[in-house]
Amino acid sequence: MEDRVNSIVQLLRMIQVEATTPYNDGWVAADCKKDLMMIRYELDKMIRKCPSFADEEKWEQEIVMKILKEK
């Protein structure tokens, strides 16, 4: 992944850790999960506003491969 993507993913993982750690109460964990869901919503909006590119099918295949490797 590119450096800017790695930086964003690192910040998101910090939120995910706070959402899943047993040391936080349900209120804190729920707020962290809500933050992640709102980020997903905003990101989906941004992606919809972007133009289409010739390599998008290749990008989607890369994502599918990552998903399959995670299982």
The number of beta carbons lying within 10 Å of the beta carbon of residue 32 is 19
On the CB side of 59, CA atoms within 13 Å amount to 6
pLDDT (mean) for 3-19: 96
Q: Report the C-alpha gap between 30 and 28 in whole angstroms.
A: 5
Q: Which pLDDT value is given to residue 37?
A: 98
> pLDDT class for 1, splitting at 50, 70, 90?
low
pLDDT (mean) for 46-71: 94
> pLDDT class for 2, splitting at 50, 70, 90?
confident
Q: Enter the pTM of the model.
A: 0.81
Q: Which residue do the tokens 């390599």 mark?
A: 55
